[in-house]
Structure 1
Amino acid sequence: YLDGQKRFTSDIAHELCTPLARMQLSLGVLEQQAKPSPDTINDLRDEVQQMSSMVDELLDFSRAQMSPDKVELETIDLAIIAEEVVEREGATTATIDIKPGTKARANPHLLRRAVGNVVRNAMRHAQGKGILIHAISSADHVELMIDDSGPGIPEEHLPHIFEPFYRVDSARTREDGGIGLGLAIVGTCMEGCRGSASCENLPKQLGGGLRVLLSLPHP
């Protein structure tokens, strides 16, 4: 536990130091200019936005880690949740194929956050291609599935993508954004809903891509 906390603190320090250093450099440039250039101001604004996104992501992760016994569950219509998330995220390439009345037990706030993070991840990697949101129901659980049309993930990374700060691509570019907590938040939200999250690559002969499975208790 202590090793995990130390690693967590180290990762946070590393992630926040990078944009801080860039901001300090930009401020130094501003101090030397009688009339700051628009490019310098825009660069500084981008760094502030990046840090703000990091803090928001950390707060989301912290909130999602609340004790499951303090999370209230209710019966939720999955089609309605999917529609709300798709509209909120502007996922214009997403198709929802969930039978009306397909329900599960979950906390609506945590489930929306989990589905939203998965959809954003799918949009980023599908690069404008289709996203499919569908569900299957069994006697004891319901699986909500989000399929993208991206390149998928190397098999050796699949068991780890819901771990905090884990990134398949170690090259951290400003365009990628985030600090590797998006899918960790998904996993933690699902635990709060008494469910689980997993993923698998789709067969290449069917077009490939990644499928994220959110398993929830049956009503």
Structure 2
Amino acid sequence: MSEPTTDPTPTDGAADGVRLVLASASPARLATLRSAGFDPEVVVSGVDESDVVADNPAALTAELARLKAEAVDATLALDGRTTVLVGCDSMLELDGQAYGKPGSAAAAVERWRLMRGRTGVLNTGHHVVVHTGGARAVRSAVGSTRVTFADLSDAEVDAYVATREPLEVAGAFTVDGLGGPFVERIEGDHHNVVGISLPLLRRLLADLGVAWPSLWRRR
């Protein structure tokens, strides 16, 4: 992804100086928001994900997004501006199981041998907190996108894992990086697969009274 060469022209809402905080360490989420014309602050939550459980994979991403956003929200120093805080978490759902970051080459190889030639669902939980005028409001939702993977050979799997890219990304693949050629089809929002659904985020913000153009970076 690349940033736009020129900033979008701000509307009157941009004069309000809306502050955007991203509660995520994901470079892909940050790049997506920057490409959309935003300039978010990044605050990493440090939430331990290992013991978090939920009824299903989509609910798990929703709960993790909530925990991350709420952990960061508890540390924020508000300065009178409208503050928008966004937390996200993504996982691949396959056969009813949730798969996050493999973490090791052996796990990534095993994962790809399971995924290749099949279709899974990339779930991304979104948790948005808005502070404005002394009030606090919250909205949550999960974006789900069907992803069909190419039927990779063992040599392709080994070569991809050797790049180390799939080790630290949800589902062990990227659609905007070296893994792009291994994704045959996407049914749903492309941005959701990258890690944050821009259309879903716009709807959540609208429901909270925040206009999308008010978050565009100012010249």
TM-score by length of 1: 0.24
Please tell me whether Structure 1 or Structure 2 has the larger radius of gyration of its CA atoms. 1
Of structures 1 and 2, the one with the larger relative CO (CA 8 A, separation 6+) is 2
The structure carrying a bigger helix percent of its residues is: 1
The structure carrying a bigger strand percent of its residues is: 2
TM-score by length of 2: 0.24
